[in-house]
């Protein structure tokens, strides 16, 4: 009989503890889920603005721009990647990854632009090859006058 009494007294207590544990574990689960969702949201594809009103010149006779005299050479100025693709032939693209705004770099061995943050890869024309970038890189005009390369 005393066992039954003790049982009756203990069961409600055990049930409360179980309820508490359930509520606590539910809150922990909900918190973890909310954190996970917010982390996924931050990784969600979005588009980052490209440089606007681009207008600068590069003096190719300057040692700081000498790499542009060789095919595969590249420089980044004003968030624009300028690449020499052949003798006196250049392309200029936004250096800002459209995924989350990291600075891309040109790989001459792969002839692609690579984002170091999440592995986004762009072609030399600016289109997305692979990875999370939602859109391609903006491109800009180049014109060469003597040794002065203008990017607009
Ligand atoms: S910032 Fe995410 S791939 Fe470039």
Give the residues across from 59 on adjacent strands.
Answer: 148
Gap from CA of 65 to ligand 1 centroid (Å): 27
Gap from CA of 11 to ligand 1 centroid (Å): 55
Cα 56 to Cα 151: distance, rounded to the nearest angstrom: 5
Q: Which run of H or of E encompasses 13?
A: helix 2-43
pLDDT-based confidence at residue 92 (cuts at 50, 70, 90): very high
Cα 110 to Cα 101: distance, rounded to the nearest angstrom: 22
Q: What are the tens digits of pLDDT across the range 26-64?
A: 545 444 444 444 444 444 555 799 999 999 999 999 999
Topology adopted by domain 56-151: Rieske Iron-sulfur Protein (2.102.10)
> 46-50, 83-87, 138-142: lowest mean pLDDT where?
46-50
Going by C-alpha positions, the residue among 87, 98, 102 that lies closest to residue 129 is 98
pLDDT for 76 beyond 50: yes
- Which residues have CB under 8 Å from 79's CB, separation 6+? 51, 94, 95, 96, 103
The percentage of residues in the chain with a pLDDT greater than 70, rounded to a whole number, is: 70
Tokens (6 digits) for 132:
């999370």
pLDDT for 104 beyond 90: yes
Q: Name the residue of 42, 99, 113 whose CB sits within 8 Å of the most ligand 1 atoms, as the mutation to test its pocket.
A: 99
Kindly list the protein residues whose Cβ atom lies closer than 6 A to any atom of ligand 1. 97, 99-100, 102, 115, 117-118, 120, 131-133
Cα 57 to Cα 78: distance, rounded to the nearest angstrom: 11
Gap from CA of 129 to ligand 1 centroid (Å): 13
Cα 107 to Cα 89: distance, rounded to the nearest angstrom: 17
Cα 126 to Cα 65: distance, rounded to the nearest angstrom: 22
> Model's pTM, two decimal places?
0.72
**Which atom of ligand 1 has the smallest separation from the CA of 104?**
4
Q: What are the extents of the domains in the chain?
A: 1-44, 56-151
Gap from CA of 152 to ligand 1 centroid (Å): 24
Gap from CA of 98 to ligand 1 centroid (Å): 7
When pLDDT is averaged across residues 97-116 and rounded to a whole number, the result is: 98
Is residue 116 within 8 A of residue 123, CB to CB? The reply is no
When pLDDT is averaged across residues 82-100 and rounded to a whole number, the result is: 97
Q: What's the Cα-to-Cα distance from 107 to each of 25, 81, 90, 92, rounded to whole Å?
A: 49, 11, 15, 14
């Amino acid at each position: 009989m005393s066992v039954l009494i003790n049982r009756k007294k203990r069961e409600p207590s055990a049930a409360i503890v179980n309820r508490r544990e359930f509520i606590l574990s539910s809150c922990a689960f909900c918190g973890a889920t909310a954190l996970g969702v917010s982390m996924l949201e931050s990784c969600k594809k979005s588009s980052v603005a490209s440089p606007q009103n681009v207008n600068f010149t590069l003096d190719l006779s300057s040692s700081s721009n000498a790499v542009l005299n060789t095919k595969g050479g590249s420089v980044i100025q004003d968030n624009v990647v300028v690449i020499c693709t052949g003798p006196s032939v250049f392309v200029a693209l936004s250096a800002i990854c459209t995924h989350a705004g990291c600075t891309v770099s040109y790989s001459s061995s792969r002839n692609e632009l690579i984002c170091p943050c999440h592995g986004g890869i762009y072609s030399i024309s600016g289109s997305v090859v692979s990875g999370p970038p939602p859109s391609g890189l903006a491109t800009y005009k180049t014109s060469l006058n003597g040794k002065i390369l203008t990017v607009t």
